[in-house]
Amino acid sequence: MEKISEIDLSTTLAGVKMRSPLGVSPHNLDKPWFPGKKAAELFKKYIDAGAGFIYIPAIVPGKPSQAEKNLDFATLFGSQQYVGRWLKIKVDGKSVLGHIYTAKNLFNFLPWAEELMQNIKPHLPPDVPVVAQVLVHDPDPEKWARHTEKVASLGADLIELNTGCPVGAMGHIDARNLPPEAKWGMLMGAAPEILLPVLKAVVEATNLPVGFKLSPEVGYPKMLHLVEESVKIGIRYIVTTHKYFAVAPPDIWHHGVGKFPALEANCLADFGGSALRFSMYKATALVSKHFPQIDTFAGGGIVSPEHVVEAIMLGASACQTLTGIVSGGIKLLTRTNEWLDKYMRKCSYAKIEDFKGIGLQHLRASTEAQFYYYVAQPDLGLCTGCGKCAESYCPAISMQKGKPVVEARYCSCCAMCNFICPVDAFNYVPRS
């Protein structure tokens, strides 16, 4: 294999260079008393850890109230019910599935974003762009356009519309007949008739590249129609997923009450982390495959360096994570860059472009793929004789003298035994 001396981790998104393909997803700081200056200190840690880009999250029009200016959380809590809650969900008693977050209001006003920009600018390397997020609690395209002009004047490199935010939808236990003015975030992102005029107005209002964040609520194939129309309008990139809109499980040992810490009800909520990863791969692959003229910014469920490579192989230009740095710490950024360097040397990829999208050539509809006429064959050297493979509904496998026996005429090579077997003892081989 060719030995690579120089590894280039840089990538470009909508024509903007990034020194590395991974950074932190936008996150409203969930603590309204957190001033812009303090946010800049946090974001500097992301830069020092090797982030490829920085986000200014959810900038809304308007001005802070006196309480917000005074950063008095007690007054804010009383007057605006600004709350976020995290909930740990475990699967099979071990793996953490993700997190749930709920809030009733969002407010990163322009003065906050200005303060943040002023304080972060001196620390920004030239190849660490700033993505500024625009969010208006209103479907009026004109309001989005005017607000975008102001956000663009902050000196950001990319504009992103936060049109997947589930927070607004959390305020409606039945959102069937909402008036358009109540539709913002996810409710707008899943309503193309509202979203597309907004995208058009925003693209016309700025010279910066504009992207938007898909809501997983759009679903397939509506997602593809939406992206197709937005590409015609001039959108340059898509962020693959916001969080799932969700209902958290009730507490079965306490009469079905909610499980959030310090929250009285089981509120409508949202899920991030590993629960999102496969939805992210779906959007990354399908958007990249069908719309090569725009870039895909993969976000949702990325919690390890391998996930970054997987997303890039499915066509992503860059990747973002939030749960990854919550569960793995900010150092996940450093670890990922180091891991990528080693991985790329091992695979003889000198630059990100060398493996970007290479998985897409293998992406096919199941009706176009060739299924081999194989049969399951247990490796009896590996098999521990636990019998699990014969305990499900497979008609072909039975235990005989403590070992699995496959009756070939009933085996369709469905690979269920592979899924069940704790020691991966099953192979699939051509039928004799």
Ligand X SMILES: Cc1cc2nc3c(=O)[nH]c(=O)nc-3n(C[C@H](O)[C@H](O)[C@H](O)COP(=O)(O)O)c2cc1C
Size of the site for ligand X (CB under 6 A): 26
CB of 126 or CB of 261, closer to ligand X: 261
Name residues contacting ligand X, limited to 292-311 (CB under 6 A). 299-302
Max CA pair span of the chain: 80
The Cα 368–Cα 421 span in angstroms is 29
Which residue from 25, 240, 284, 336 is in contact with ligand X, where contact means CB under 6 A? 25
Q: Which stretch binds ligand X (CB under 6 A): 19-27, 255-263, 281-289, 394-402?
A: 19-27
Write the CB contacts of 181 (distance below 8 Å, at least 6 apart in sequence): 138, 139
Tell the smallest beta-carbon distance from residue 244 to ligand X (Å): 9
Tell the smallest beta-carbon distance from residue 432 to ligand X (Å): 46
336 binds ligand X (CB under 6 A): no
Tell the smallest beta-carbon distance from residue 51 to ligand X (Å): 14
Tell the smallest beta-carbon distance from residue 96 to ligand X (Å): 12
Q: What is the DSSP string of 365-416?
A: -GGGSPPP-EEEEE-TTT-----GGGSSS-SSEEEETTEEEE-GGG-----H
Is the separation of the CB atoms in 189 and 163 below 8 Å? yes
What is the contact mask toward ligand X in residues 36 to 75, using x (rule: CB under 6 A)?
---------------------xx-----------------
Alpha carbon of residue 369 to chain centroid: 28
Tell the smallest beta-carbon distance from residue 228 to ligand X (Å): 22
The Cα 408–Cα 394 span in angstroms is 12
Q: CA–CA distance from 98 to each of 302, 413, 420 (Å)? A: 11, 33, 24
Is the separation of the CB atoms in 62 and 32 below 8 Å? no
Number of H helices, E strands in the chain: 13, 19
Which residue from 129, 139, 141, 272 is in contact with ligand X, where contact means CB under 6 A? 272
84 binds ligand X (CB under 6 A): yes
CB of 242 or CB of 356, closer to ligand X: 242
CB of 101 or CB of 281, closer to ligand X: 101
Which residue from 4, 17, 30, 259 is in contact with ligand X, where contact means CB under 6 A? 30
Name residues contacting ligand X, limited to 209-268 (CB under 6 A). 213, 242-243
Tell the smallest beta-carbon distance from residue 164 to ligand X (Å): 7
Name residues contacting ligand X, limited to 90-149 (CB under 6 A). 101, 133
426 binds ligand X (CB under 6 A): no
Q: Which stretch binds ligand X (CB under 6 A): 34-42, 176-184, 282-290, 322-330?
A: 322-330
Three-class DSSP category at 56:
strand
Name residues contacting ligand X, limited to 148-177 (CB under 6 A). 162, 165
Would you state the structure tokens that stand for residue 253, as one six-digit string? Answer: 């040992």
Element (H, E) at 77: helix 73-80
Q: Which stretch binds ligand X (CB under 6 A): 24-32, 151-159, 190-198, 371-379?
A: 24-32
CB of 159 or CB of 165, closer to ligand X: 165
Which residue is associated with the tokens 């490829």?
Answer: 52
Tell the smallest beta-carbon distance from residue 361 to ligand X (Å): 27
Q: H/E/C letters for each residue in 201-235?
A: HHHHHCCCCEEEECCHHHCCCHHHHHHHHHHHHCC
Where are the alpha helices (H) located in 100-191, listed in sequence order?
110-120, 141-152, 186-189
The Cα 218–Cα 297 span in angstroms is 17
Tell the smallest beta-carbon distance from residue 254 to ligand X (Å): 25
The Cα 393–Cα 154 span in angstroms is 61
What is the binding site for ligand X (CB under 6 A)? 25-28, 30, 57-58, 84, 101, 133, 162, 165, 213, 242-243, 272-273, 276, 299-302, 321-324
